[in-house]
Amino acid sequence: MDGDEEKLRYLGFLGIFKESFKIISSWKKIFTQITLLFILPLSVIFLVQVQVSDYMEARFDWERHDLDRCRDDASYYLRLDDILTYPSLAYWLIRIAYLVLLLVLSLLSTSAVVYTVACNYTGKPATFKKIMSVVPKVWKRVSITFIWSFLINLAYGLCTLGTFIMWGMLIGFSPFGHWDLPLIVFFAGFVYLSIIWQLASVVSVLEEENYGVKAMVKSIILVEGKRRVTSFIFLLLVLIYWGIIMVYRMFLWDGWYLLREMVIGIPCLVLLTFLFLFGLVIQTVIYFVCKSYHCESIDKPALANHLEAYFQPEPQREATRDVQLEQVHDATNDARLDQVYV
């Protein structure tokens, strides 16, 4: 294990933050370009969605309140049908479009940032043009990992719902019942699955054979021993995120005003954009920290070759990978022969 890997092995809470800041500052130009192309639009979509959702929900509440006052009117059911149909349809169409854009931009920004941080650790030169040519190829692997993560989280949510129902049948559904334990367990499981998914996204980019379920399994192995540190980092980033959203809602809840949007919205947008970038860099740094902690040697030449292989056509990539596997197989056989002769 070289000096850099030994240093990464012992990075703690503050060390991971310092390392992430150092990487961002040393690759300032490329990260700025990635931010402007992917992360800034992602932040804009977040804040606009918050404002649109609050506006439409407030409108629904006002229309329902106005409808209650004319319950005995002959047009009551006609107005009720209008409220339930057209605004609800528009609301859900906006939500679906928001989720699609959110998913696409999130996966693209993750791919670009992880690749850039990996280039930093391998000492491999990277340009924005090269990164953009790699992103479409890496994005497919990250997408498969996201789908599996979504299915696992869905299964976890359904199991939790069933557990809550059984718990309620045993102790009652009163809000003053003993709900502390199941809520704590659910929250801890949610945090753990979120950390696993974030680390699996990095694994999907940097390891040739590991994506989807394999990436999830590999991230579970890697996070062992660093679970407490990664949990604290995740919770801190989530608290900062919700703090920004709460400030944004607090000052913009009563209407759309250009001056207020600029005074409050722009600082919130800048903070949220940097938080997203910083979080993506941190999760990549955590990957290298976890590998060093488990004494998994970070083979920088092999990782550099893997990153360079994304620029090769698919047949050439397969041939290169076959050669590398054959070399590993030959090296293993040689090591076994040496053991026999010794």
pLDDT in tens, 285-319: 999 888 888 777 665 666 666 666 665 555 555 54
Q: Kindly state the percentage of the chain with pLDDT values over 70.
A: 68
Q: How would residue 262 be classed by pLDDT, with cut points 50, 70 and 90?
A: confident
| Percent of the chain with pLDDT strictly greater than 90 | 17
Lowest-pLDDT range, 30-34, 176-180, 196-200?
Answer: 176-180
Report which of 33, 201, 36 is spatially closest to residue 129, judged by C-alpha positions.
Answer: 33
Please say if the pLDDT value at position 330 is more than 50.
no
Which pLDDT does position 210 carry in this prediction?
83
Torsions phi, psi for 93 (to 5 deg) = -65, -40
d(CA 285, CA 7): 12
**Which residues, 6 or more positions from 196, have their beta carbon under 8 angstroms from its beta carbon?**
149, 216, 219, 220, 223
Give the pLDDT band (50/70/90) at residue 63.
low
Mean pLDDT of 180-189: 80
| Residue 327 or 10, more confident | 10
**pLDDT value, residue 36:** 93
Name the pTM for this structure.
0.78
What is residue 322's predicted lDDT score, i.e. its pLDDT? 42
| Per-residue pLDDT at 331 | 40
- The answer to whether residues 307 and 118 touch, using CB atoms and an 8 Å cutoff, is yes
Q: What is the pLDDT of residue 250?
A: 79
The string of pLDDT tens digits covering residues 74-89 is: 454 445 445 555 566 6
